[in-house]
Amino acid sequence: MSDGANDCVEPRKVDINYETEEPVLYRVEAGAAWITMNRPAYHNAQNSQMTYALDAAFRRAVDDDAVKVILLAGAGKHFSAGHDIGTPGRDLHKRFERTHLLPDHVNKPGAELLYTREQEVYLGMCRRWRDVAKPTIALVQGACIAGGLMLAWVCDLIVATEDAFFQDPVLRMGIPGVEYFAHAFELPPRVAKEFLLLGERMSAQRAHGFGMVNRIVARDALEAEGRAMAANLAEKSRLGLWLTKQAVNHVEELRGKRTAMDAVFHMHHFAHAQSDLVRGNSLGGQDAKSMAEANRRQADKAS
């Protein structure tokens, strides 16, 4: 047994097959940066290749003074099915150049590996994107599940299509919600409990009723609505836009958003660790296939 001073392990060797070298698309149009997740074959499941590309895209949008507003969209049928827990491009054990002052995760033993990684790619990046100095708009169609919620929630405004739905089913993995725990800020507490405990789909219409979604549009009107909102914002003062979003973000902090999220992040990692100890799997014995099957069974029962 080591004394813990230098207990690193050999990084696990895993085959990674990326289906694209462009997991995120970027374009600027009329003062708006369009950042589009581009893994439609996997419903925009987020691997690290994608989260680092998203981070770079936000950086690019912030650096470009011609950009006044940022839109975040997903290519294909769905906004995002969540974190990548099973595509050939799953790259949990790959080393990336970190964007925060955090150590590399791949050679860390036990629970330290996921704890280090998720501080960087999930909690850390989501907080950066939420506080980005320009207004952001999420354009959500189809599924917005678990890790997908985190990307929609970090945006200042959310436009959803009539067929969009929101869901956080990770309790099935023994986990109390995704890493960016904004559930009880986005939804009234009892609704947040229902959302987490039952893990059912929430329609865009119901989410709109709680103020979690700003507008609902037809599927084919999503881009046009985003463009119209962006045009409205693009003619306003850059600093004014930044201050205005910061004002509301600050109120959320006064209500304890950041500290609540820190506390739950640690529960989240206690749950990962417990799963690892008891089942030898940090996801409670679940994988992408078993989660999708359970979801389908639940949706069938509900309909």
Instruction: Please report, as ranges, the residues that interact with Zn ion according to CB under 5 A.
Output: 118
Per DSSP (E only), the strands in the chain are: 24-29, 32-37, 69-74, 136-140, 143-145, 157-161, 165-167, 202-203, 215-217
Is the Cβ of residue 36 or residue 282 nearer to Zn ion in the bound state? 282
Q: Please, which residues have CB within 8 angstroms of residue 151's CB and are 6 or more apart in sequence?
A: 37, 46, 54, 72, 79, 80, 126, 129, 138
In angstroms, give the least distance from the CB of 92 to Zn ion.
Answer: 11
Q: Among 85, 92, 89, 73, which residue's Cα sits nearest to residue 41?
A: 89
Number of other CB atoms surrounding residue 188 within 10 Å: 11
Is the Cβ of residue 120 or residue 156 nearer to Zn ion in the bound state? 120
In angstroms, give the least distance from the CB of 239 to Zn ion.
Answer: 36
Number of other CB atoms surrounding residue 64 within 10 Å: 13
Is the Cβ of residue 43 or residue 268 nearer to Zn ion in the bound state? 268
In angstroms, give the least distance from the CB of 118 to Zn ion.
Answer: 5
Is the Cβ of residue 123 or residue 187 nearer to Zn ion in the bound state? 123
In angstroms, give the least distance from the CB of 269 to Zn ion.
Answer: 7
Which residue is nearest to Zn ion, using beta carbons? 118
Is the Cβ of residue 118 or residue 186 nearer to Zn ion in the bound state? 118
In angstroms, give the least distance from the CB of 206 to Zn ion.
Answer: 26
